Structure 1
Amino acid sequence: MVRRSVVQLLSALLHNANLPGFITGRIWQAQPKSVCVPVLNCYSCPGALGACPIGSLQSTLAGTALKFPFYVVGLLLLFALCLGHVICGWLCPFGLVQDLLYKIPSPKLHKNAFTQKLSLLKYAVAVIFVLLLPVYFWWQDGVGAPAFCKYICPAGTLEAGLPLLALNANLRDGIGLLFGWKFLLMLAILGACVFIYRPFCRFLCPLGAWYGLFNKLSAFGITVDKAKCTGCNACVRFCKMDCQKVNDRECINCGECKKICPEGAINFKTKF
């Protein structure tokens, strides 16, 4: 769907519009930078104009004083109730990267019973790395650690780590084992994207796990006209995500199923 690709590209440019940062290698740190964006987009990216909600959530939990992140949770609820997984399908820059890599001609591993079970892994990642480990490190050392950003997030490595290292020679002197691990993990995930549709979104992304929980409650997204639907299941068979029905927790509301529905029962609508 060309229209979706254009929206994804515009969203990526909008979220990373500080173009001078990609020349100077400096992170934009003006006051508006503290505002969370709805997508997984690293705060440390030289072009980023806002803060990643997952990073912000962990930063609150990783402070010297443990406190509930009311602001971040409130924004995440607002984003989820307004758009849900539409954010993943249409607005996420790292989703765009995965979509483009999947277009490379290669044998493809399609969804199956195993990948549907593996899709539950992202919920474990969200609970353990985003919530529990930052609190555990705080309990042990008095200062928490943003475990997901530090040990997993390939978007942060691609958007922030590599550009900053390329543009700042002094940072390259401090490269250690942790960055080596993050770099290899990023390469593995990006390599998998050529053969598997959106593996990071499907199996690892904590933000996608959150939005998926609100898919049926969100104000905007894919809906099925039950009066027209014949239950042929062509939409589910065609979908590259691990959906078992349209608009379930794995549906990213990309709209690709619209063109395969023989009855024209699938549409984008506000869910009021």
Structure 2
Amino acid sequence: MGFTFGFRRRFVQIMTTCLTNWELTNLLSGKIYKGPGKNLCAPGLNCYSCPSATLSCPIGALQTVGGTSGFGISFYVSGFLLLLGVVMGRFVCGFLCPFGFFQELLHKLPLPKKKLFPPLIYGKYIILMFFVLLVPLWGGAYDNKGIPAFCEYICPAGTLEGAVPLLLTHPEFRQAAGMLFAWKFLLLIGVVIGCMTTYRFFCKALCPLGAIYGLMNPISLYRLRLAEQRCTACGICRGSCPMDINPARQTSSAECIMCGKCIEACPHNALYLGRENKERCC
């Protein structure tokens, strides 16, 4: 018997999380890995300051490099994100993001579940424009120092993966922790509670990296496809979608993370992930 799509996806999520956080012993010492791997970006959200992280966070790199170079942007970071987006879109969110995997585990806790208030999905685009792009560039224009506003004031992944482990292993850091850490810790608690009750709350409402990849979902080479001659508009795929879209009518939706739940649920084999939109005969 072959492995299900969901099992294969979970395996990829676990492997990606392990490969991007290979320096596990650093969690005990509080050291931050600064080897050659940090010159490269992870595809998903994974904090640079996490002691176990072996790659840099693309959002952190985008802010830092963009801000310190005035109004310029890093060709490497932007090119990396564009390449992944054009090839895979939000497949990265569904398969390759450690913080997305963490959110899914939180959602498995036996608590009442609810859907996200639809207008909140635009929050991630506001955060992308203001905290990731405009504020860092504004800082670079005035004193050539980028302001990593998203990392500094919002990112719950950074708080969980970076700040908390470092505070636990460095007493001197605990003495210096102030109102900013208190704010970010409260925000982390809010995101954790949101993820327990709403599937991938942070991805849906707040993640700027998901916003970038989502904007490229309609043009990505590998994305959700529909074999229209097989679709009977039964609505089963819509009921199975954890991202609250109608897969049969929104195959290019910016909210689709290509988790494959609609593919498994479809009784007519009408939905699939692929590179070409062609009618399937089998």
TM-score, L = length of structure 1: 0.93
Q: In 2, are the aligned partners of 1:119 and 1:242 still within 8 Å (CA)?
A: no
Q: Match of 1:221, as an amino acid? A: R
Task: Tell me which residue corresponds to 2:33.
Answer: 28
Cα RMSD after superposing both structures: 1.6
Task: Report the Cα distance in structure 2 between the residues aligned to 1:186 and 1:227, rounded to whole angstroms.
Answer: 45
Alignment of 1:117-196 (within 5 A): 117-196=119-198
What is the CA-CA distance between 1:127 and the residue it aligns to? 0.3
Q: Match of 1:163, as an amino acid? A: P
> SS in structure 2 opposite 1:120?
helix
Task: Report the Cα distance in structure 1 between the residues aligned to 2:78 and 2:101, rounded to whole angstroms.
Answer: 25
> SS in structure 1 opposite 2:219?
coil
Task: Tell me which residue corresponds to 2:275.
Answer: 270
> SS in structure 2 opposite 1:222?
strand
Alignment of 1:5-154 (within 5 A): 5-63=10-68, 65-111=70-116, 115-154=117-156
- Which string of whole-angstrom CA distances, capped at 9 and with x for unpartnered residues, describes residues 124-151 of structure 1? 1100110111122334555231000001
Q: In 2, are the aligned partners of 1:60 and 1:66 still within 8 Å (CA)?
A: no
Task: Report the Cα distance in structure 2 between the residues aligned to 1:30 and 1:14, rounded to whole angstroms.
Answer: 14
Task: Report the Cα distance in structure 1 between the residues aligned to 2:34 and 2:258, rounded to whole angstroms.
Answer: 33
Deviates more, 1:186-195 or 1:20-29: 20-29
> SS in structure 1 opposite 2:64?
helix
Task: Tell me which residue corresponds to 2:201.
Answer: 199
Unaligned 5+ residue runs, structure 2?
1-5, 278-282
Task: Tell me which residue corresponds to 2:230.
Answer: 228
Task: Report the Cα distance in structure 2 between the residues aligned to 1:127 and 1:236, rounded to whole angstroms.
Answer: 30
Q: Match of 2:269, as an amino acid? A: G
Unaligned 5+ residue runs, structure 1?
none
Report % sequence identity.
43
> SS in structure 1 opposite 2:217?
coil
What is the CA-CA distance between 1:21 and the residue it aligns to? 1.4
Deviates more, 1:22-31 or 1:204-213: 22-31
Q: In 2, are the aligned partners of 1:62 and 1:135 still within 8 Å (CA)?
A: yes
Q: In 1, are the aligned partners of 2:191 and 2:202 still within 8 Å (CA)?
A: yes
Task: Report the Cα distance in structure 2 between the residues aligned to 1:269 and 1:61, rounded to whole angstroms.
Answer: 34
Deviates more, 1:151-160 or 1:116-125: 116-125
Task: Report the Cα distance in structure 2 between the residues aligned to 1:189 and 1:166, rounded to whole angstroms.
Answer: 21
Q: Match of 1:177, as an amino acid? A: M
Deviates more, 1:181-190 or 1:222-231: 222-231
> SS in structure 2 opposite 1:242?
coil
Q: In 1, are the aligned partners of 2:67 and 2:141 still within 8 Å (CA)?
A: no
What is the CA-CA distance between 1:177 and the residue it aligns to? 0.6
> SS in structure 2 opposite 1:47?
coil
Alignment of 1:206-245 (within 5 A): 206-244=208-246, 245=250
Task: Report the Cα distance in structure 2 between the residues aligned to 1:121 and 1:192, rounded to whole angstroms.
Answer: 14
Task: Report the Cα distance in structure 2 between the residues aligned to 1:238 and 1:19, rounded to whole angstroms.
Answer: 36
Task: Tell me which residue corresponds to 1:254.
Answer: 259
Deviates more, 1:122-131 or 1:238-247: 238-247
Deviates more, 1:234-243 or 1:253-262: 234-243
Q: Match of 1:51, as an amino acid? A: S
What is the CA-CA distance between 1:263 and the residue it aligns to? 1.2
Q: In 1, are the aligned partners of 2:67 and 2:144 still within 8 Å (CA)?
A: no
